[in-house]
Homo-oligomer: A and B are copies of this chain.
Amino acid sequence: MSAPSIFDPPAGEPRHVLCVGAAVLDTLFRVRVLPQGQGKVLPYDMLQIAEGMASSAAYAVVRLGGKASLWGAVGRDETGDRIVRELDNAGIHVDGMLHVESARSAVSTILVDDDGERLIVPFYDPKLHHAVKKFTAADVAAFDAVLVDVRWPALAFQVLKTARAMGKPAILDGDVAPDGIIEQLAPEATHIIFSEPAAERLTGSDDVAEMARRLKRRFDHAFVCVTAGAAGSHWFNEETGKIQHCPTISIKAVDTLAAGDIFHGAFALAVAEKMVAEDAIRFSSIAAAIKCELFGGRAGAPGRADVIRRSEPLQRF
């Protein structure tokens, strides 16, 4: 039997996280070198997988032993059926998914080269997120935390607001979004995890610690963190009143696709489990780092035992 870890799940039922946002059929190609303009590139590996920001986060929650529900929209087409079926098979609760009659499901092609660089071609039908899924406060009451991405802002706004009013963690995946979306959603969030590119756009700084400092000043009602891949995360520690750096574990990155989403899912579960902030950030960093060691987008999301095992050297300091 292994020693107890600060990352062990709490007693009782697994915590239940609601994830709101993107659900896409991704086609991933591994290529030696990314293409420059026209021609033909022959990939040496390929994977089709249903994922997307909220979907991959939900999968991370499931892999880490939590319960995840996904509210997203797909078209009423073959691709939409496949997205929902795959996410269902992955253990995510999909009964809250919306099938939009007149819209096409989202699809995306991603080329990943041997240096881990990416070319992304995402297609979203604007009609997919025109309507807002109807829900009641009672629907949200069932969850221990909510996590929203920027893909379906009108629904994300209402879910954050409802969860926050109930005193539940309301987490925003603060990724690059059309102008005004982050500004609209952030006031309703209790926790905001910014990606480095989004934080850079919002602050104009090129220093991650400084980005976190400025974002905390701007959104001081919320827990604020900026993730920066291999460079680790910077977050504002309410106890010390300072920006704190959390390094991540050292890995050889094969595929960073969905790493941010795995971070968000792990973080939402950690917060739902009432892990202290420092531990939650570390837990999420390790989960996201391990994901990068495997090709296949969200498919590389680690189980809890893996995160605990890989966290041990860090815990000795």
A residues adjacent to B (C-beta < 8 A)? 27, 29, 31, 34-43, 46, 48, 78-79, 82, 104, 107, 109, 111, 113, 117-123
Contacts and interface: CB of A to CB of B under 8 A. Distances in A.
Nearest to A118: B38
Given A27-B107, A37-B34, A109-B27, A48 B79 contact: yes
Contacts of A48: 79, 107
A107 B118 CA distance: 19
A38 B119 contact: yes
B43 A123 contact: yes
A40 B107 contact: no
Given A48-B79, A109-B29, A109-B109, A35 B104 contact: no
A119 B35 contact: yes
Given A46-B107, A48-B107, A41 B121 contact: yes
Given A36-B37, A43-B123, 16 more contacts: A27-B27, A27-B107, A27-B109, A29-B109, A29-B123, A34-B35, A34-B38, A35-B121, A39-B120, A40-B121, A40-B122, A41-B121, A42-B121, A43-B122, A46-B104, A48-B107
Contacts of A109: 27, 29, 109, 121
30 contacts: A27-B27, A27-B107, A27-B109, A29-B109, A29-B123, A31-B121, A34-B35, A34-B38, A35-B35, A35-B37, A35-B119, A35-B121, A36-B36, A37-B119, A38-B113, A38-B118, A38-B119, A39-B119, A39-B120, A40-B119, A40-B120, A40-B122, A41-B119, A41-B120, A42-B122, A43-B121, A46-B123, A48-B79, A48-B107, A111-B121
Nearest to A38: B117
A81 to B, nearest CB: 9
Contacts of A118: 38
Given A27-B109, A29-B123, A82-B78, A117 B37 contact: yes
Contacts of A36: 36-37
Contacts of A41: 119-121
A117 B35 CA distance: 13
A307 B42 CA distance: 35
Nearest to A116: B38
A41 to B, nearest CB: 5
Name the 8 nearest CB pairs between A and B, nearest first: A46-B123, A109-B109, A38-B117, A40-B120, A36-B36, A34-B37, A41-B121, A43-B123
Contacts of A38: 34, 113, 117-119
